[in-house]
Each structure stands twice: as C-alpha cells, then as structure tokens.
Chains A and B, each alone.
Chain A
C-alpha cells in the first residue's frame, strides 16, 4: 500500500509512531514538533520514526527529530527515540550530524523491534505534505523553528556548532531585532 505523502502519526500507550513519506523539511517540521511535544506532555515515553517512505530530510527537520529525542531522553533515560527503515544514505546523514548516538537506529532491511500494529490508525498531520502546502508559512514561526532545530543539533553533538554557527547567529540576530526580549 502506498503511504500518503506527508507525516502520519499514531499514539499507542506511551509510544508515538511517526511515518515520514516524501521530504521532511523546515516546511513540515512544525506540525510534527507540536504534535510530538503534546504527546510527550500527555505521557508518551518513546518515539518510533519510520523512514521507509522518506525521500530526504533537511537539517531543520533533523533538528526537530533531535529535539524530540532530547526531550524524551531528558524525561525517560537514553535511546527513547528509535528510527527505523534507515537507508544507507539517511544513515550517513544521521552519522554526519552525530544523531546516531542520540537515536537508536534500525537499518532498512532489518526487522525493527518496535513496529506499529497492522491495524494502527495513522492520521496525516495537517500541512505536512509540502507538495500541497496552500498557505504561506509564517516568517517568524519558521525562523524560530529553524533556530530551535539547529540549537538542538548543536546540543546533540557539539561538532555541529561549526556547521551551523553562521545560520544560528543570523537567526538569533533576526529574532532579537524582531523581539528585543530574545537576547542570547
């Protein structure tokens, strides 16, 4: 069965299941972030992200995943974020950003330990199919998401600071200009 493009989610007794189909980018990171934080608030203790249908991820989307992983680990201990069906290409990306140490990774072709039941009722998050976005993104929300996501990547692995310092500096300066109370 072909999965619908976008991000589909399902929450089952403390497990948040996420399926990424198509691209995961700064354009659809926000709905996932909001939903995941709400579920963690309601008691989710682990998150399983299935990348079987994922065509690519940008650093903001990876930073959103890192933020969910950091929050879960903070509440519940290590390796609460499990990423499954990880292709070689995605694995290289996760390793480049040091996220292989934050996430528990199951490569594509291997049976993951945590699988949603076949009858699990996945719902697609609104505005998560970037090919169908019909309303403009909010500038400040997007910039804030991008900043938070890249800060998460730096918190997950300090080697990311060199990669993202120009971007985070720019976004921090921008946020401060927009709202002077946001000083670093």
Chain B
C-alpha cells in the first residue's frame, strides 16, 4: 500500500490537489485540513486528481459532498479527475456521481469550472 500523499498545483484560479495512496479514516483528516484551508482562503474551485489513489472510504466520500456543497455556495465546486475504475464503481454504486462531477480529461475538467 502506498503512503498517502497530497500534492498541490494551481492553474489560474483552480486548485488541483493530486492524491496518492489510500484515502481512509486515517488519512482523510490531512485532506480535510487542506480543503478547509483552500475554502478559508477563498479558493472555491478545487479539482481532486485521483489517478494514484488506491482506495477511498465511505466517510471520505461523504465529506467530499459537504466540501462540494460549501464550494458551490460560493460559486465554485469540488470535482474529481482520473478516478480509477475500482473507486469509480464505489462512487457510482452509491449514486455519488449525481452530486460529484467526475472527469477523465484534465483540460475538460479545468474548462468545466468556467463553463457555467
């Protein structure tokens, strides 16, 4: 199992957060802190790149809904990019794809923040 890592990148006014490893109850507080910091700093457009994510737990998914809701209230959103098939199945199983946008292409994902 890979260690959980968070890497940051900014493109325009969009924060790209690249995740590696397992996003579970043990590691989620680190992402939570990062997302809270972004929202407090007025960064409401956040793209989570999940390409190297091995696992996501139920609490993590639930919390992402809350962050997306907060970001949308300020005109932004929290969206997912490059979700591995195994994780996508979990997200889809519970209908989270209806409340969290999932993209497979980074350029399209970035463009979607300014499209609405």
Contact = CB atoms under 8 A, between A and B. Distances in A.
A58 B24 contact: yes
B25 A93 contact: yes
Interface residues of A, number: 29
B93 A58 contact: no
Could you say which of A26, A55, A57, A93 has the most chain B C-beta atoms within 10 Å of its C-beta? A26
A56 interface: yes
A167 B26 contact: no
A58 B58 contact: yes
Interface in A78-105: 89, 92-93, 96
A59 interface: yes
Given A26-B58, A59-B25, A166 B93 contact: no
A161 interface: no
Given A93-B26, A137-B93, A170 B58 contact: no
B70 to A, nearest CB: 9
Could you say which of B59, B61, B63 has the most chain A C-beta atoms within 10 Å of its C-beta? B59
A57 B25 contact: yes
B63 A167 contact: yes
Contacts of A59: 25, 57-59
Interface string B14-52: 000000001011100000000000000000000000000
Interface of A: 25-26, 55-60, 62, 89, 92-93, 96, 136-137, 139, 142-143, 146, 150, 163-168, 170-171, 174
The 8 closest A-B pairs by CB, nearest first: A167-B62, A166-B66, A58-B57, A59-B59, A60-B58, A166-B65, A26-B58, A58-B58
